[in-house]
Chains A and B, each alone.
Chain A
Amino acid sequence: MTQLPESQQKVKFYQTGTLTVGNRLLDEEHRNVQATMDRSNSLDSGHRACQGCGEALGARFAIDAAIRATGNQLIAANATGCLEVFTTPYPETAWSIPWIHSLFGNAAAVASGIAAAMKAKGREEVRVIAQGGDGGTTDIGFGCLSGTFDRNDDVLYICYNNQAYMNTGVQRSSATPGAARTATTMPVGAEPGNAFNTGKSVPLIAMAHNIPYVATASVHDLHDLEMKVTKAMGVHGARYIEVFVPCPLGWGSKPGDTVKIARMAVESGMYPLFEAADGELTGVTKIRRRIPVDDYLKQQRRFAHVFKPNNAHQLEQLRAIAAHNIKRFDLLARDGEEL
């Protein structure tokens, strides 16, 4: 069995009034990586992501945490997609780590190759991350990703899930939720938006490979994201983290609401946060105060049509999905349960 390192997150924050998190109230050692003076700024300012891009936020926290966990011995392979395009318009680069972009569908295999090279050269202290969007992970890169899992290569794959192909103009991927409007699932016809009962959960599929570590995370809880990345870097073998990253452009949401929307997705049950080791679920993040699914959906124009009377059945289906997640992952805190 894989021995996962203990969670480094000693204190958890819960939002009550404002959206600011009280990082500054903590001792320095418990503050997040970004709050430290020696943060590495792996993804530097000046890149060209949209305002409020969840992917840029998630990537910066994830990679900085990985750099700290590995003592700066890190190489990253990136799939084609927003993260690649907005960080590396030649001759500029926003990356301060060794970084390679090869193709859309091969980031996992490229990372496996890098890890193999490091092993062959006796430099196993150098660790490897592959990263990509949901399209590059759940669709076109899925074969290579499964191969990396299958071989249990020493690679952490991070998927930034914004639930569509954003870089090409917001088309549906197999991570797009039911009813969501994308450029290829427009809100027209009797069943507007994306079809229900389609798509897949790559975290669960990753677990079926029995790899040492799988987790989902979200950009509303960056301490938790850092903790999961740190944990992942504390073990060897194939690991997978999927980060929920709202995309203001594709979702039709306010750039300033990215963190709020991510939180609402989790607190409504639409995006469950969990961890797994060797194929077994080891923990879930309990919902402290459940919010209605409708409140989450209302923040995003991609779901606007589900609030029309004709489409009430779609709203029902979305509520049912949240309810199913809550039951399946046992997401609700019981009375008096310490969180």
Chain B
Amino acid sequence: MLKQIEGSHAVAEAVGLCRPQVISAYPITPQTHIVEDLGTMVKAGKIENCEFLLVESEFGALSACIGSSAAGARSYTATASQGMLFMMEAVYNASGMSLPIVMTVGNRAIGAPINIWNDWGDSMSARDAGWIQLFVEDNQQAVDVHIQAFKLAEELCLPVMVCMDGFILTHSYSQVDMPEQGQVDQFLPPFEPRQVLDPAAPLSMGAMVGPEAFTEVRFLAHHKQREALDLIPRHAAEFQSIMGRDSGGLIKEFDCAGAETVIVTMGSVIGTMKEVLAGMREEGHSIGALTIRSFRPFPSEALIEALKDAKRIIVFEKCLAVGMGGIVSMNVRMALQDFPLHVHSVIGGLGGRPITRKNLRRLFEKGLNDQLQETHFHDIDMEIVNRELEREKEQRQSGSIAENILHDVGVVAAAKTI
């Protein structure tokens, strides 16, 4: 059914259609609307046989899901930013214990300085935690991928994060085709755990493992994630056969076949990029794009297949490994290491910095003219950076960087308008 609906509300409805049995919730912007809506739905009896736990922290939220999932209940929670860090010990624990929890991440920057706006710092902090990480591009996908996430998690006994850009998706209204309950039931069978806490067949979960077996345990975790590389496209195809929509999958190409230059990115920014790239192609540039939808497991084979004939790859990512550079680009480079390709790394949109058609157009032109620095910071104001560096050189106690820069932003911006 077509609905004009907020992203968070759409996700809440989609999760409700998946018949969750335990939902735990702790508020953090921009995830709040999702759990608020789910709480209302459970309370109003719209989701049957479901317990909604209002916990004392994100650590408690995921820990409760660990308990409920181990006891055989379909379990869901949502978080973002600081919340992801606060629950991190449980994040690793959930995957180590093979618990198929589904968690939405309303992607938001990590402080300090505290910042509520969108980037992928939170999901990236957990990229090696053993969870599957699926990134969505719009709210239709957010709905569809949540439904696929439960199936994937439960088939593999692995937890899945559905990563959606905070505010840009969570708080925006758009048209979404909401699946019917019958369609979801057809796609997603009831949860049948592989191991379950049950007095009828007692077992001990979470025992200690020493050096004699730890490597093998970790190898199997890796192996199991790689199995998702087959399963994700299969589920997407099955989903399409029922819903009639192409949603999910490992990667998505946008006029990428035959293009000399390919922009590689994830999440919602592809929406703006598509418009810019269409214009550039009309002008005769050979440029296309590709989104990575499954960041973990990383779809190396699919990327090779799609990118091997390109000349230049520009990875655009909303995250930074401080002291190293781009995180997604590191992964892309590793996948393409056997091909003589130039992979540029562009860091943009940090902490919600607007990514516009105009500044993207400038960026892509620089890319086509081989003018990108390694690592390139999109839309950065070097004047402000240099001012702060000067100040620090002059004075040991030069004050808080964030505060100084905010002050300068005012001064510099004022100077520019004169």
Q: Which A residues form the contact surface with B (CB < 8 A)?
A: 72-75, 77-78, 84-85, 88-93, 95-103, 105-106, 109-122, 126, 143-144, 146-147, 150-151, 153
| B206 close to A112 (CB less than 8 A) | no
Known interface pairs A77-B67, A95-B202, A116-B53; A106-B60 also in contact (CB < 8 Å)? yes
| B199 close to A102 (CB less than 8 A) | no
Which A residues lie within 8 Å of B290 (CB)?
none
| B64 close to A112 (CB less than 8 A) | yes
B204 CB within 8 Å of chain A: yes
Closest chain B residue, CB of each to CB of A109:
B63
A160-B64 Cα distance, complex, nearest whole Å: 22
Find A75's partner among B56, B64, B197 (CB 8 Å cutoff): B197
Find B51's partner among A92, A100, A106, A119 (CB 8 Å cutoff): A119
B203 CB within 8 Å of chain A: yes
Q: How large is the interface on B (under 10, 10 to 19, 20 to 34, 35 or more residues)?
A: 35 or more
| B21 close to A112 (CB less than 8 A) | no
Which A residues lie within 8 Å of B53 (CB)?
112-113, 116, 151, 153
Known interface pairs A114-B71, A151-B53; A90-B22 also in contact (CB < 8 Å)? no
Which A residues lie within 8 Å of B205 (CB)?
99-101
Which B residues lie within 8 Å of A74 (CB)?
199
Question: Is chain A's binding surface mostly helix, strand, loop or mixed?
Answer: mixed
Q: Chain A's nearest CB lies how many Å from the CB of B94?
A: 9
Q: Which B residues form the contact surface with A (CB < 8 A)?
A: 21-22, 24, 49-51, 53-57, 59-60, 63-73, 75, 89-90, 93, 97, 197-199, 201-210, 213
Known interface pairs A97-B199, A98-B203, A147-B55; A116-B208 also in contact (CB < 8 Å)? no
| A103 close to B90 (CB less than 8 A) | yes
Which B residues lie within 8 Å of A78 (CB)?
206
Find B202's partner among A89, A97, A151 (CB 8 Å cutoff): A97
Known interface pairs A101-B205, A143-B59; A111-B49 also in contact (CB < 8 Å)? no
Find B22's partner among A85, A113, A151 (CB 8 Å cutoff): A113
Known interface pairs A90-B208, A120-B73, A121-B49; A96-B65 also in contact (CB < 8 Å)? no
| B208 close to A85 (CB less than 8 A) | yes
| B60 close to A109 (CB less than 8 A) | yes
| A100 close to B60 (CB less than 8 A) | no
- What are some 14 contacts across the A-B interface (CB < 8 A)? A99-B203, A100-B70, A101-B204, A105-B89, A110-B70, A113-B64, A113-B65, A113-B66, A113-B67, A114-B68, A114-B197, A115-B67, A121-B72, A151-B54
Known interface pairs A116-B73, A117-B73; A102-B202 also in contact (CB < 8 Å)? no
| A88 close to B204 (CB less than 8 A) | yes
| B63 close to A98 (CB less than 8 A) | no
- For the complex of A and B, 5 pairs with smallest distance between CB atoms: A113-B67, A147-B56, A101-B206, A117-B73, A106-B63
| B55 close to A109 (CB less than 8 A) | yes
Closest chain B residue, CB of each to CB of A115:
B67
| B93 close to A103 (CB less than 8 A) | yes
Q: Chain A's nearest CB lies how many Å from the CB of B16?
A: 14
Closest chain A residue, CB of each to CB of B87:
A106
A115-B72 Cα distance, complex, nearest whole Å: 11
Closest chain B residue, CB of each to CB of A96:
B202
Which A residues lie within 8 Å of B50 (CB)?
120
Which B residues lie within 8 Å of A77 (CB)?
67
A276-B320 Cα distance, complex, nearest whole Å: 54
A109-B24 Cα distance, complex, nearest whole Å: 10
